Structure 1
Amino acid sequence: MENLLVFAVFFIGLVIIVKGGDMFVDSAIWIAEKTGIPSMIIGATIVSIATTLPELFVSTVASNQGHSDMAIGNAIGSSICNIAFIIGLCAFIKPIKINRASFSLKGFIMIVCVVVFYVFAFDGVVDFGEGIFLMVIFSIFIMMNIIELKSQNKNIQKNKKSISYNKKEIFVNIIKFVLGALFIVIGAHILVDTGIKISQMLRIPKQVVSLTLLAVGTSLPELVTAIVALIKGESNISVGNIIGANILNLTSVIGASTLVSDHGLLVNRQTLFLDTPFSFLIMILFVLSGFLKGEINRKTGALLLILYIIYLLILF
């Protein structure tokens, strides 16, 4: 009976997160339309920050409790899941059209972030100073988006003048945005908590949990947001969210986890020689495909999914 209850709660968490994702993307699209802010910027900042909250919460708590492997595993595992599974699945369902200029710049920043993390981690520990540096990179990324937004200010003003909206519409969409983000976070934590219990029931090793079940659980907001955005024809929000979330995972999540740890984050050999190199590989594949083709097509999506399956088989 207790086992059935765990699965029932897991399903409830799934319903909450799906509904939250739908509300959140609706409000994000409304913001993009009414303000004239490019959807890629909306996805890479507002949406990605909100959907990365589960990773931030889980990793900082794990780090504070002395579980460095779980903190790093969750962040790196989520970055792998975001591209190999989420982008792979979305592209396989429907080819993702992208804005090359904005995509290429943000994709390059994402690759730089994983390289910087690897350099910091190579001595076996990411210390306090390196954590501060990662947080600085995160701040620079946000500032770059603000600068990009200001450079397009004229178009934004034009869009504002051509579209009318009332106070009730503003209020409704703010409520949807806040409730959607809240539902995403609550649903994610329900899924993670029950997912861990299910893993214990099925006797899945804890080392694998942080890179798979925990990473997938905390990446569910990105998955739901990406699929809903794709269905609604807002592929730039989908891609921008994934790139932004990965940059946040590698900078703010790992950086904040380092700051709350007494002795920095300890990095094991698997992270150095399997997880991070694999994350780098799929990022290169993802960015090159988008840059060269102007889209993430079904073939690339299928390849990413196959690589993710291979990665999971190696872990198990």
Structure 2
Amino acid sequence: MNIIWVLIIFVIGLIMTVKGGDMFIEAAIWIAERTGISSGIIGATIISIATTLPEFFVSTVASNEGFSEMAVGNVIGSYICNIAFVMGICSLIKPIKIKSHFFGIKGIMMIAYLCIFFILSKGGLITYREGYFLIGLVVFFIIVNIIEHKKIDRKNKKVKRGLIKKKDILINLLKFILGGFLIIYGAHILVDSGVKIANFLRIPKQVISLTLLAIGTSLPELVTSLTAILKQRQNISLGNILGANILNMSIAMGASALVSQRGLIISKQTLVLDIPMAMIVALIFIISGICKEKIGRFTGLLLLSSYVVYLLIIF
């Protein structure tokens, strides 16, 4: 009876996350259209921050409680999941065209941050000082977004600011806040209930963090990306994934190192399997996007297949 209630709560969390994602994207699109901010930047900043909060809280709480392997596994697992699972599914449903000239820059930045984390991790420990360094890397991401916005703003001067009504502002602000809340709280419910299910099945903690926690905390990215694709807003989907992974490797990992009493301990599996896997799917994703100017169904199938192989290896 207990496991049945956990499954019911899991489904409730899933419904909350899906509905929240729909409301959140609608509000974000409205903000982009009325303010003149590009949808790619909306995806890379506001949406990325909101959808990254589950990873941030799960990893920092796990690290603070002494579970470094879960903190690292959640972020690296989410990094892999965001690209291989989320982008794989989205591109299989509908090929994603690359319209932003900054895709390559942010893609290289995403890979570079992973490389930096790997270099810092080679000693088996991320120290407090290195944690501050990782958080500081987010400054470069902010600068790139500012430059991108200014460049797009110069090309597109036609902004419909005169059509904004107070009622529309209130409605979309409410959608934005409520949608974000439903996504985050729904993901929290999914993770909690998912961990209980995993414990019932006696699955190891590191496997839980790399699979169940990673997939659970990546559900906001999946929902927002799918919704954006269906609403013909591919730039939001791409910006969301790129931004989420960059923020995960900088802020989430940096903060996790700071709240840990001994620093962030890195396992051997993370160095020899998880990070290399993250690098492989990231290279497939970025190279395909730069060379073909789209993420096609073949690339999506390749990414999704890689994720299935990875899951089979760790299990």
Shift of 1:94: 0.8
- Secondary structure class of the residue paired with 2:159: helix
1:237 is matched with which residue? 236
Tell me if the contact between 1:49 and 1:245 (Cα under 8 Å) persists in the aligned partners. yes
1:58 is matched with which residue? 58
Tell me if the contact between 1:40 and 1:102 (Cα under 8 Å) persists in the aligned partners. no
C-alpha distance in structure 2 between counterparts of 1:46 and 1:56, whole Å:
15
Q: How does 1:8-87 map to 2 (within 5 A)?
A: 8-87=8-87
Tell me if the contact between 2:135 and 2:254 (Cα under 8 Å) persists in the aligned partners. yes
C-alpha distance in structure 1 between counterparts of 2:100 and 2:237, whole Å:
14
Shift of 1:100: 4.7
- Amino acid in structure 2 at the alignment position of 1:62: A
C-alpha distance in structure 2 between counterparts of 1:122 and 1:238, whole Å:
32
Normalised by the size of structure 1, how large is the TM-score?
Answer: 0.97
Matched, 1:297 2:285: no
Which runs of no fewer than 5 residues in structure 2 stay unpaired? none
C-alpha distance in structure 1 between counterparts of 2:106 and 2:194, whole Å:
32
Q: How does 1:130-279 map to 2 (within 5 A)?
A: 130-155=130-155, 157-160=157-160, 164-279=163-278
C-alpha distance in structure 1 between counterparts of 2:148 and 2:102, whole Å:
9
- Secondary structure class of the residue paired with 2:206: helix
Deviations 1:99-124 (A, max 9, x none): 25111111011011000000000111
Tell me if the contact between 2:100 and 2:235 (Cα under 8 Å) persists in the aligned partners. no
C-alpha distance in structure 2 between counterparts of 1:273 and 1:18, whole Å:
35
Tell me if the contact between 1:100 and 1:290 (Cα under 8 Å) persists in the aligned partners. no
1:99 is matched with which residue? 99
- Secondary structure class of the residue paired with 1:52: helix
Tell me if the contact between 1:188 and 1:220 (Cα under 8 Å) persists in the aligned partners. yes
Tell me if the contact between 1:35 and 1:156 (Cα under 8 Å) persists in the aligned partners. no
C-alpha distance in structure 2 between counterparts of 1:187 and 1:157, whole Å:
38
Tell me if the contact between 1:80 and 1:282 (Cα under 8 Å) persists in the aligned partners. yes
Select between 31-40 and 105-114 the one with higher mean Cα deviation. Answer: 31-40
Shift of 1:205: 2.0
C-alpha distance in structure 2 between counterparts of 1:124 and 1:209, whole Å:
21
Deviations 1:36-78 (A, max 9, x none): 1111111111000000000000100111111111110000000
Shift of 1:160: 3.6
C-alpha distance in structure 2 between counterparts of 1:182 and 1:193, whole Å:
16
Shift of 1:158: 2.4
C-alpha distance in structure 2 between counterparts of 1:203 and 1:65, whole Å:
20
Tell me if the contact between 1:36 and 1:155 (Cα under 8 Å) persists in the aligned partners. no
- Amino acid in structure 2 at the alignment position of 1:37: I
- Amino acid in structure 2 at the alignment position of 1:61: V
Deviations 1:143-200 (A, max 9, x none): 3212321333334542245x61211101111110011110001000100000011112
Normalised by the size of structure 2, how large is the TM-score?
Answer: 0.97
Tell me if the contact between 2:111 and 2:282 (Cα under 8 Å) persists in the aligned partners. yes
> Judging changes above 3 Å, is the alpha-carbon distance between structure 1 residues 259 and 230 closer, same or farther for their aligned structure 2 residues?
same
- Amino acid in structure 2 at the alignment position of 1:82: N
> Aligned residue pairs: how many?
315
Select between 33-42 and 294-303 the one with higher mean Cα deviation. Answer: 33-42
Shift of 1:203: 2.1
C-alpha distance in structure 1 between counterparts of 2:142 and 2:89, whole Å:
28
